[in-house]
Amino acid sequence: MSEPLVVMDGVNKWFGDLHVLQDIDLNVDRREVVVVIGPSGSGKSTLCRTINRLEPIDQGRILIDGEPLPAEGKELARLRADVGMVFQSFNLFAHKSILQNVTLGPVKVRGKSKQEAEARAMELLERVGIANQADKMPAQLSGGQQQRVAIARALAMDPKVMLFDEPTSALDPEMISEVLDVMLELASEGTTMVVVTHEMGFARSAARRVVFMDGGRIVEENTPEAFFNDPQTARAQDFLSKIL
């Protein structure tokens, strides 16, 4: 058995008086897809953000491929790029073309040549079905298209793990499936993924494990079948009764 790709070990974090992450122990294996669900305010986004050190933690440790992310500097930029992140709001660079959005990081952080970065970017844009829009600006694309560009941009850094924080929550309903389809494909190719989502269909078909959070804690953790068919805690039962 190789060691897990992501190790969270006794992680605690406070925002002032709010104990937002409480004794989080969570490992993600290579090629594993973990779906994180839970009510609003339960700490899901904060958990994601600690994994790539957008948020510091107060206690415990987080290892990516055996290493902690350094606190700052060039090394942080390099190692943080090992953790790709896709947010609810697509966060593309508004004044750069789609192609530039995807090539900027690999050139700046990975030291790729422009040519090499562009060739790879076009491959990735092809993969998410946007290659014919490469010269457009983000505002010219639909929300679903922009989110697929955001996925391509994250993949362009050759991350070891991809984090998705409610990637379809800001999309019009008809655009949700085009983004979920790309994510399902990544999952089936063996991409290591942590996905915060309310899309239970995705969880059922892509997750190996569902992690249920409430009040800053991991309350329950199980296979999707077991979790959805037979949740063990009252809090999970209550949550599922409201969303299913």
Cβ-based nearer residue to Mg ion, 44 or 53: 44
Residue from 6, 26, 37, 45 touching Mg ion (CB under 5 A): that is 45
For the bound state, the minimum distance from the C-beta of residue 69 to ligand ADP, rounded and expressed in Å, comes to: 19
Sheet containing strand 59-64, strands side by side: 18-28, 6-15, 59-64
Residue 191 interface partner, choices ligand ADP, Mg ion, none, CB cut-off 5-8 Å depending on type: none
Q: Which amino acid appears at position 227 of this protein?
A: F
Stretch of 42-50, 53-61, 139-147, 179-187 contacting Mg ion, by CB under 5 A? 42-50
The item of ligand ADP, Mg ion, none sharing an interface with residue 224, based on CB under 5 to 8 Å by kind, is none
Q: In this complex, which beta carbon is closest to ligand ADP, that of residue 38 or of residue 144?
A: 38
Name the residue nearer to ligand ADP (CB basis): 18 or 119. 18
3-class secondary structure, 67: strand
Q: What dihedral do alpha carbons 153, 158, 164, 168 form, nearest 10°?
A: 40
Residue closest to Mg ion, measured at CB:
45
What's the one-letter identity of residue 226?
A: A
Q: Which residue has the tokens 């844009």?
A: 125
Residue 56 or 68: which CB sits closer to Mg ion?
56
**Using H for helix, E for strand and C for coil, what is the string for 201-243?**
HHHHHHCCEEEEEECCEEEEEECHHHHHHCCCCHHHHHHHHHH
Residue 46 interacting entry, from Mg ion, ligand ADP, none, C-beta within 5 to 8 Å by type: ligand ADP
Number of shown-chain residues binding Mg ion (CB under 5 A): 2
Say if strands 209-214 and 217-222 run parallel, antiparallel, or are unpaired: antiparallel
168 interacts with Mg ion by CB under 5 A: no
Tokens standing for 33?
């897809």
Residues that bind ligand ADP (CB under 6 A): 15, 18, 20, 38, 40-46
- How far apart are alpha carbons 89 and 143 in whole angstroms? 9
Binding site partner of 41, from ligand ADP, Mg ion, none, Cβ cut-off 5-8 A by kind: ligand ADP
Binding interface with Mg ion (CB under 5 A): 44-45
